[in-house]
A = this chain, B = another copy of it.
Amino acid sequence: MSHRSISKMEYVHVGVIGVGRMGARHARNLAGLIPGARLVGLADPDREAREQLQKELDVPLGFDDFRELVHRDDVDAVVIASPTEIREEVVRECVAAKKPMFSEKPVAADLEATRRIAALVAQSGVTYQLGFMRRFDPGYAHAWEQIRAGAIGRPTLIRLTSRDAAGPPLEFVRASGGLFVDSSVHDFDLARWLMGDEVETVYALGGCFVYPEYGAAGDIDAGVVALRFCRGGLGLHDNSRHTGYGYDIRTEVLGTEGSIQVGYLQSRPVVLLRDGRGSHDCVKDFLERFRDAYVAEMLHFIDCLRHGKQPSVGVEDGQRAMEISLAAVASLQSGQPRAVESLREPTPSDGRGAV
């Protein structure tokens, strides 16, 4: 069943693969916050977790094996939140079944697999949306619109900060691909999208300041990256696994006529004044910060399916961002600036921003 026929249906019947943290989040959103969708099935070999979520959300179908879900005639579209290792396999199955996909990032476990998926999706014409949710955050989406509308003139310099309240377990770090691949990839996507340009070279530095065990595992817990864009624009990125105060995502784009800043530190709208100081609490984590973004990206996915449109963020965006991440890793290891490898040169037909 292709997305063309979906566009004539009243509801899109969605199955979710994987009921971990992100899968459960998408399932809950689909169950209650996406008017055009019906959550009809879950697939996860962890039967206990899956059945609990099925019950909580009144989901009729449940499978151990994602293939059964993918090939059901009454499942119109699939949300992929399974472990990264099997992601390529899942995508291949969905393409075979002509099922539109919304996939959590990353596209796949490595760049080669990512490129294979990009080629496969492009050839098949099956709809694919990547979970770069920051683009759907009301703040980031508004900033992008403002930039596109010329509010800051021509974008020239971007600053991107990503920081976690506290670092993940060592096992997660080991499997994550490292700080730049796992986390900064979101910033590299924002960088491309907000600057409306491709990244040409990167120069990265890093260190282990809080979690020496990450260093022993070959990773860093904080890093910075200087970016050069194809049309000459400049960029700076910093990332840290640990802040001690909360989750902190901020971006600023300076242009020839002004600047736009996105992000916030204060969680609840309460200021306490006492003992000569004013204070407020901070944002806890990404589920809090990007709560609306996770809903908005799914609304976009369903809306695209129902109206025969292409999602605004696809597999190629994931590939490009990963290429920047890998260039940052290479720069970190070599101590030298590195060019970003690309499948092809960016062209005006990309329809990207107006720099």
**A178 CB-CB contact with B under 8 Å:** no
Tell me, rounded to whole Å, the shortest Cβ–Cβ distance linking A290 to chain B. 12
A236: chain B residues at CB < 8 Å are: 159, 224, 226, 236, 238
> Is A268 a contact partner of B138 (Cβ separation < 8 A)?
yes
**A1 CB-CB contact with B under 8 Å:** no
Cα distance A228–B274 in the bound complex, in angstroms: 24
Cα distance A38–B238 in the bound complex, in angstroms: 45
A232: chain B residues at CB < 8 Å are: 207, 209
**A46 CB-CB contact with B under 8 Å:** no
| Set B31, B276, B280: member contacting A281, Cβ < 8 A | B276
Tell me, rounded to whole Å, the shortest Cβ–Cβ distance linking A31 to chain B. 6
| Set B142, B157, B271: member contacting A268, Cβ < 8 A | B142
Among A240, A262, A268, A278, max chain B CB count under 10 A is at A278
Q: List residues 140-169 of chain A with CB under 8 A from any CB of chain B.
A: 142-143, 146, 151-154, 156-157, 159, 161, 163, 165
> Is B259 a contact partner of A273 (Cβ separation < 8 A)?
yes
Cα distance A248–B269 in the bound complex, in angstroms: 13
> Is A277 a contact partner of B276 (Cβ separation < 8 A)?
no
> Is A280 a contact partner of B282 (Cβ separation < 8 A)?
no
> Is A278 a contact partner of B254 (Cβ separation < 8 A)?
no
Cα distance A263–B35 in the bound complex, in angstroms: 30
Contact with B along A336-352 (1 / 0, CB 8 A): 11000000000000000
**A245 CB-CB contact with B under 8 Å:** yes
**A261 CB-CB contact with B under 8 Å:** yes
A73: chain B residues at CB < 8 Å are: none
Return the chain B residue nearest A279 by Cβ. B279
**A205 CB-CB contact with B under 8 Å:** yes
Tell me, rounded to whole Å, the shortest Cβ–Cβ distance linking A40 to chain B. 12
Tell me, rounded to whole Å, the shortest Cβ–Cβ distance linking A112 to chain B. 29
Return the chain B residue nearest A154 by Cβ. B209
Cα distance A261–B273 in the bound complex, in angstroms: 8
> Is B206 a contact partner of A203 (Cβ separation < 8 A)?
no
Return the chain B residue nearest A147 by Cβ. B272
Cα distance A280–B271 in the bound complex, in angstroms: 11
A35: chain B residues at CB < 8 Å are: 56
Tell me, rounded to whole Å, the shortest Cβ–Cβ distance linking A194 to chain B. 12
Q: A205-B234, A245-B278, A258-B274 are in contact. List 4 more A-B contacts (CB 8 A).
A: A31-B32, A32-B33, A240-B254, A278-B279
